[in-house]
Each structure stands twice: as structure tokens, then as C-alpha cells.
Chains A and B, each alone.
Chain A
Amino acid sequence: MNKQKSIFSPVKAWKYLLRKPVTVLKKDIFDNPRESSPRYRGFHQNDWDKCLGCGTCSRICPTNAITMVQVDTLEDKEGYKKERPAFDYGRCSFCALCVDICPSDSLNMSREYLHLSKQAESFYFLPDSRGIHGDTRDRGYVRDDDSELLDLNRYEMELEPVDRKKSFIEIVRGFSLEKALAESARCVECGICTEACPAHMNIPEYIKSVWEDDMKGAVGYLYKTNPLANVCGRICTHKCEGVCALGKRGEAISIRWLKRFIVDNTPMDDYEEAALSYVTEKVDGKVAVVGSGPSGLSCAYYLRTLGYEVDVYEEKALPGGVIRYGGPEYRLPEESVLKDIGIIEKSGVHFITGTKVGRDVSLEELRDRYDAVFLGTGFSLSRQLRIPGYEHSDVKYAIPFLGQTRDYLRGLADMPDIMEKVVVIGGGNVAFDVGRTLIRLQQRKYGTDHVSIAALEHRGILPCDKEELEEGGEEGLKGHFGYGPDEIIITDGKIIGLRVKKVISIFDADRKFNPSYDESDSFVIEAGQVYIATGQMPEYEYFSEEMKSMITIERGQVKVGAHGQFENFPWLFAGGDIVQGPDIITGVANGHDAADGIDEYLRSRKK
């Protein structure tokens, strides 16, 4: 380095005077900050209208920076929690995993670089869509399809329609282990489902148990709140899936099928041990349960977990009520029902079948013999539809028909007398059960099927489950939706069809049920039999006149206080369809609640 340098070499430095500087002084950096990139991961913004309060952001957060905070000013909305995420910027690492996993798409980050404050608490804040500085700046980092961290699609399984309508074999195959693990891995454990479930089942917990391959633990979670796990794993109305956080952007988790997977795949020893682990010794107190439907069975089981002796009175030859005589075999196989009832029997519940309270034994006698009585008699009668021709002997009703079909498949009764062309009236799940059962019976008897279904409601507002509509259509059910029954046409003593007319509206201006029709749009559906599935009614023969005068019955349902306790008869409790309805899981919830009520009542009496 001894080379002599030119005397002009210092002048070289002057060229930098003309260069554009890389570092620029910005004097108004706070008011007019440097613009950040469109993807910048700045501060959080959260759209409160969209946010579910599910807390998935707080669970993915690697730094525990997110706390879910109760916000009481929010409206009550089903499927939404009144909680919103608050961010601690002392911990946040600005990784934006919370944004990428947000099931509701409410969360994003802003393009703000700076937050300066002397108030330490301002670094812990609850953002809404206006962000930390209360103004709506440009959105920065947002989730897109590439950065998605949820698994939005269901893992499916079902039989082909061609095969399935020829038999009563259960149509849903159930998950394989691999699929069940994959499906259970989609759950974000928000627990919104638990709030929506009438029985408040521990859904995230049992799904997690499936994911951890701890089937015994899963059964334990099921029996905490629901002793009819086999039944509900198949035919529950699954309100949980309706509110599932995953359903906001993708498909809800198959909660019902996972429940079914648990009950079908747990070894029987483990199953029994877990299911009976809550059952205790019979200590004292005897309780009678009237009716062995979902609410009665649930009440009986939970009374056994509380140490009471329980007798269940059932009118029919077999216990189970609607699950034994209602739900169709292709949805609810006999062995599932037997498994549930078997566990309840093993818990020490005593069934007295073929005994109708009100006929063979009176309610007063039960009152004297037992410490408390639970009524879960359900809606056991079909509601009549008084249209011209309704008294014809080929007008059939859903409840006896479904019951007879189940008995027929059990080998206890003859096949119901069905004709080649039939029509079903009704748009609920029961109507579809009837229609699809008829298809199967016709296939068995005639080799073909021809079942029409007419409902007041048009396709969009049918009260049945979406899958009933889809699967029924696949099986060949001919739907006439938005058409109300007008007249059963009878020629020479035989039914030849049902005349229907177009429905204009179902409810009148006062929101009362009062359908109006377009008389000009009517036609005849060809049929030799008419099956009516337009609703059920209760039967209260067991109430004496004196009792009836002290009980309020509204729209067929009895008025009760907390835990289903009758105000004027503290020893008497009720649940299920005669109190709340309309589904099995509500019955289960009522039964459990009443068991707690009975326990409270009996313990308070002892003091």
C-alpha cells in the first residue's frame, strides 16, 4: 500500500455530494410516518361484528399475549361469545398466527409502525376495527388462502343411494380411525358448541380425547352429560354443528359422527368402566320415573349417579320410548339403542315394562310409594289432520307406523300394510323418516318405490334437517314443497290420491299459524295411502281431575318451575317433550336437570 496516490484523490469524496442520500431525515415522523408495506404486521384490528369470541387466536398465540376479555355491552347472539381478544404488546411478537387462524376472519393487522405512550397500560388493549389509535388506517396483514391455518373441509363418509334404499342397514358408515383423527384435529376447542348444546355436552373435551386416541376418556366425557351417547351419536339434531366456529368460513366439524365414532370404537370393557364410573351405591331415597324415553332414561341414570334407587315405568313392552319405537332403523340400529339402555340397566335402574301409569297404576300410588316422581311421557300421540276424508282406514299416522316397522324389523310384528303408491304429509324430520321408511318397505315388498311427500313449507324453510332433504331426494322421495293438503280423494271406498294446493303464506299478520292458499294452483298426488306426520301430541290421562285443575298446560306442554319441578306438587318433576321439546338431546338435558332437582329436593326435605 505504498503506491503514491494522486493529489486529487481527496476530491473523489465530493462526488457523494450529488448522490441521493439513502437515509432521509423525516421531521414529522409522528404525524406523517413512513409508509409501510401493504402486508405489514402492525397492530391488531378486530371487527367485533364478525368476531365470535371463540378465542382461537389466544390458543395459537405462541407468546400468551392474547387474553379473552368479557365484554358485557355486546348483544346476546347464538353462536357468539361475549368475549373479545385483548392484546398485550409487552408479549406480542407480531407473528400474525392469530390472524391466519381466525375462524371468523374478523382479525387483521394494521400498517402502523409506531405506538408511543407514557401510559404503560396503553400497551395492553382491546382492539376493535379501529385499532390501537382509534382511526381506520389501511389494513395491513390479512389472512389469505395460502396462509390459512384451519382445515375447513370435512372428512366425509356415506353409502351410495342405490344400495341404501333396498335395506334398513344403517346408511352412514361411520369414520375410520384415520378419518376420525383427522376430523377431530380440525377442532379449535372454542366451546361455542357446548353453549349451544341443550345438554351442554363437553364437546371440545371429547373431540380432543378422540384426537389423543383416548377413547375411554372420551366415553367418560360423554356420560358426564348424556347417557344416550349411542342414540345421540346417530340421530341428534346437532345444534352444536350449527354454531361451530369452523362453519363460519368452512364446514362445521362432524361432531355427531365423532360421538358415534367414540361409542362404536371403544372396547366394551373400557366403555362400561367409563360409563359406570359415575354410578354410586344406592344410599337412600326411591324415585319413580314415568316413561322410558330420552328424558326418563337420562333422569334415571343421573339419579343412579346420585345414589337413588330408580324404577322406570314403561307402557310398551320394551323400554326406550321414541328411540325404540320412533327413529328409523337405517339411522338408529337396534344395537345402538340396546347398548345405551343396557348401560342404564347396568347402572342399577329397574325397568317395569308393560305398565301404564294412569291405567295400571295411578300417579297417587306412585307418590305414596316413592319419594319423588319424574314424568317423561313425551308426545306419544299423532296429531290428526282434519281434512275431508281423514277418517278413512288407509289414512295412517307416523307414530304407530314407525313403531310397527321397528317391531317388524325386530321380528315382533307383521310388516305394516303398505301400498305401491303413497303420500306423506309433513315437512319435519318425522315426515322424512316415514317417507324413507316407506321407500324401504316398498322396495322389500314390491321391488320398486313410489313415495311422495307434501309439506306446507317450501324447500328453503323446511323444518327438517338439510341432510334429510338431500338424502331423501337421492333415495327417490318425490317432494311437493310449498303445497298444503286440501282433500283426500276417495272413489269406491278407496283412496286414489291427495289434492294439494299452493301455499301463499303459513302465518298470518299476527304470526299465528293460519295458512292461506292459492286455490287456482292445485293438483292431485296419486296415492293409495296417506301418511300423516304433521306433529305429535301428549297424553295426560294420569293426571286426576283435581291435579289437572292445579296444573297449567299450554300448547300441550305443562308449566313447571326450575329443574322441572311442579310448583303445587313439589314431589313431582317433568321433562322432555311435555315440558320443552322437541328433540332427544333436550329431553336428555331436562332429565339430567330434573335428577339434580330431585336430589336437591330430597336433601332439603331430610334436613
Chain B
Amino acid sequence: MNEVKLFLGPQHPGMHGNYSVHMYVDGDIINKSRPTPGFLHRGFEKLMERRLWMGNLALIPRICVPEPDINEMVYAMGVEALAGIDVPEKAHWIRMLVLELARIAVHTMSLGFIGGPTGMYTATYWAIAQRDLILDLFEELSGARIYHMYIIPGGVRKDLPDGFAGHVLEKMAELETKLPEFGELILKHPVIHARAKDNIMLPAEVVWELGVTGVGMRSATGLANDLRKVKPYARYDEVEFEVPVAVYSDALTRLNLKFREIYQSISIVRQVLEKMPADGPVNVPVSPGNALRWTVPAGMVYAAVESSRGEYGYFIVSDGREKPYRIAVRGASYPQGLLGIEKYLKGYRIDDASLWMDTMGVCSPEIDR
């Protein structure tokens, strides 16, 4: 046997973020794989202990770059639970708007990035273009394209700018006309079928073994386990949407579920804009005094939201002072992105490794933290 060690990443078109997999291959079959995280390890959890409750706002979006808003949301939810704050009604709806726009952006990008491992870059270009148009909306809303720093403990930072709802609706309508083309190009394409169908399997047993959540779990088990449904936060219990599920999880099924979730998110965005109160405050202070001296009562809390990749949570411990005592992040991609690669990548072909990264939903900084 002639085993060769190959490095996939940390710089590779098929790799998500700076992540690396060491593959021991015989021919083009992977005999053994070792995930090598840590390229994006900046000690987020430790850094958070050294920053003010408000100051962490600048740090947390970086724990998942393509979908930063979930970080802001769980952090805010946790702090609010500890501090016993009631978030103003309007803020709940604005938060949902942000979260769903982010979900659309990240799912669109995720669909398009199948172009990396399959060599079909048209999909990537189309997806990036559509995502950028959503980032325009974020820029209009929060003043930044990627790191919005918009959802804060107590509410959201600013009210919606004038005419924002109209811009969102326009964008949603435009996206709806484009999505069928995505379907044609990606989901029905023979090349993609050849690569993704019956490949990169995620059996239900593995879901339970590793603790996979999100699209992975829903595509393998048929369970509609979406935190927005089973443990609603913000005002998700007041909007109607479906949770697409399947019982056979290959790479193509997971792509299909993401595609269907985009439609659901568009529907949620429309409902949010319809039901959102027109007026009212958008935030309340966390505690008396200025942001330099906001304190959060001692206690511990676990807050979780449904990210594009699954359950995303923060475990927050406060000792009652102006900085968190400890924050631990449950990155949604940890089970499949780290444990799954270690254990179940073997037997696949070299070029399937990046398909794994893409369709399982892996965001490396949330593994590294």
C-alpha cells in the first residue's frame, strides 16, 4: 500500500475559511483524515472575558463571518435573560428581519459555493452577486456590510431607516425571480447530480452520534427540529413558515433543503414587515448608567438560535460585573466539521472532501472560537 499524505487547505478554493484537512490517501481514496482547526483561533471566548458587555459587540460577529447576526442575537438573548430585560416589541421584529435576511444571504452563498468543489464557478458568481445585494440592505440598515453590530443586548441599535421596508420587499421580489434560475443551474445540473447525488451521506445514526443539528439533522431524520419552531425566540411564534425535512441525507438533499428554506425565509421577511409595529422604542438600556458601567446580574444562561447550520448557542456566566465571567460558544458546525471529518470522511474520494465541507455546513471560526 502506498499511502500519501495530502493537505486540503487552509488555502483552497474548496475550503471554507481557513481550515485544513490532512488526508492520508491511497490512490484517490481517503484512508484516514485529520481535521486541523485553529487557523482562525483568536481566543474569542477568552477575549470576551476582557471586554465590556457592550464592547463585545465588536468581537462576536467575527465568530461566524458569513452569518454574523446569530452571534449578536444569542449574545443579546443571553444577556437579556440574565438581566431580566423585556425587549421592546419593535426590536423583536427588526431582529427577525435581520436574522432572516442573513439566512437568505448565507444559504444563497452556500448554494453558490458548490461551484468550488465542482468547478462550476458560474453558480458562485451568481450567488455572490445576490448576496452582495442583501449586504447593501445591511449597509443601509446598520452602516456596515459584513459586521453589522446591530443587534445589541436590550434591542437593536437604531430604528429602521426611511424607506427600508420598501427596499427589502423589492429585493425579495427580485430574488424570487432569480431563484428558479439557481434551481436550474445548481440543483438540476447533471454535473452536480453526478457529484452530489448519493454522495457525502449523513445517516441518522451519525446525526445522533455526533450531535448534528440544523439542515443535516432535518435532512437525515425527517424531524422538523428547527429552534424557531420548537423553542421560538423573538416573535417566530407569530409568523407562519414550514420546516423542510427529508429522510435521506446526501449532499444533494441538503442543497435542496437549503434552497427551500430560502423561500421560507422570504415569506418570513414579508410577514415581519407586515406585522412589525410602526412605532415604539427599539431598545432599552441593560442597566442604569452608561455603557462603560453596564453590569449584568450574576448567573448563568444558555441561549440558542437556529443558524443556517444548526443550533448555535452561547453559554454565558456573569459574576455581576461589567464584563462577562465566561462565555462558551456552541458552534453549529463543530459535530460535522470536526468530529465528522475525523471519523467519517474515510472511504470518500479526495475531491469529495471539499464537498463535505460545503454541504455539511461548516464555518471554521465557530469551531476554532
Contacts and interface: CB of A to CB of B under 8 A. Distances in A.
A36 interface: yes
A56 B193 contact: no
B139 interface: yes
Interface stretch (B103-111, B154-162, B261-269): B154-162
A69 to B, nearest CB: 21
Contact of A146 (B132, B143, B282): B282
A38 interface: yes
B147 interface: yes
A56 B54 CA distance: 14
A95 B57 contact: yes
Interface in B262-317: 281-283, 285, 287-295
Interface stretch (A57-65, A223-231, A480-488, A520-528): A57-65
Contacts of A97: 54-55, 57-58, 291
B55 A60 contact: yes
B143 A141 contact: yes
A101 B129 CA distance: 36
B51 interface: yes
A219 interface: no
A1 interface: yes
A291 interface: no
Given A37-B143, A62-B57, A96-B143, A185 B290 contact: yes
Nearest to B295: A185
B190 interface: yes
A185 B289 contact: yes
Main secondary structure of the interface of A (DSSP, over half): loop
A523 to B, nearest CB: 50
Contact of B292 (A93, A101, A146): A101
Nearest to B285: A151
B144 interface: yes
A39 B148 CA distance: 11
B143 A40 contact: yes
Given A59-B292, A60-B291, A146 B161 contact: no
Interface string A100-118: 1100000001000000000
Interface stretch (A121-129, A186-194, A380-388): A186-194
A147 interface: yes
B59 interface: yes
A211 interface: yes
A180 B51 CA distance: 24
Contacts of A189: 292
B143 A151 contact: no
A62 B142 contact: no
A95 B149 contact: yes
A150 to B, nearest CB: 5
B6 interface: no
Contacts of A211: 289, 293
Contact of B58 (A56, A62, A109, A144): A62
B354 interface: no
A184 interface: yes
Interface string B189-200: 010010000000
A39 B290 contact: no
Given A41-B143, A97-B58, A62 B161 contact: no
A62 B51 contact: yes
A146 B143 CA distance: 15
Contacts of A59: 292
Size bracket, chain A contacts: 35 or more
Contact of B290 (A38, A150, A155): A150
B55 A40 contact: no
A23 interface: yes
Contact of B139 (A40, A61, A144): A40
Interface in B56-75: 56-59
B245 to A, nearest CB: 25
Contacts of B339: none
Contacts of A187: 289-290, 293
Contacts of A95: 57-58, 147, 149
Contact of A149 (B51, B281, B291): B291
Contacts of B193: 1
Interface in A137-163: 140-141, 144, 146-147, 149-151, 155
Given A1-B193, A189-B292, A60 B54 contact: yes
B133 interface: yes
Contact of A39 (B51, B140, B294, B295): B140
Residue among A23, A95, A149, A155 with max Cβ neighbours from chain B (10 Å):
A95
Given A155-B288, A182-B289, 12 more contacts: A22-B133, A39-B141, A39-B142, A39-B161, A40-B139, A62-B51, A146-B159, A147-B157, A151-B288, A185-B287, A185-B294, A187-B293
23 contacts: A22-B133, A23-B132, A36-B139, A37-B139, A39-B158, A39-B161, A60-B54, A60-B55, A62-B55, A62-B57, A62-B59, A97-B54, A101-B291, A146-B159, A147-B157, A149-B290, A149-B291, A151-B288, A155-B288, A185-B289, A185-B295, A187-B290, A188-B292
| Closest 6 pairs between A and B when the two form their complex, measured CB to CB | A185-B289, A182-B288, A62-B55, A149-B291, A95-B58, A39-B143
Interface of B: 51-52, 54-59, 125, 129-130, 132-133, 136, 139-144, 147, 149, 157-159, 161, 190, 193, 281-283, 285, 287-295
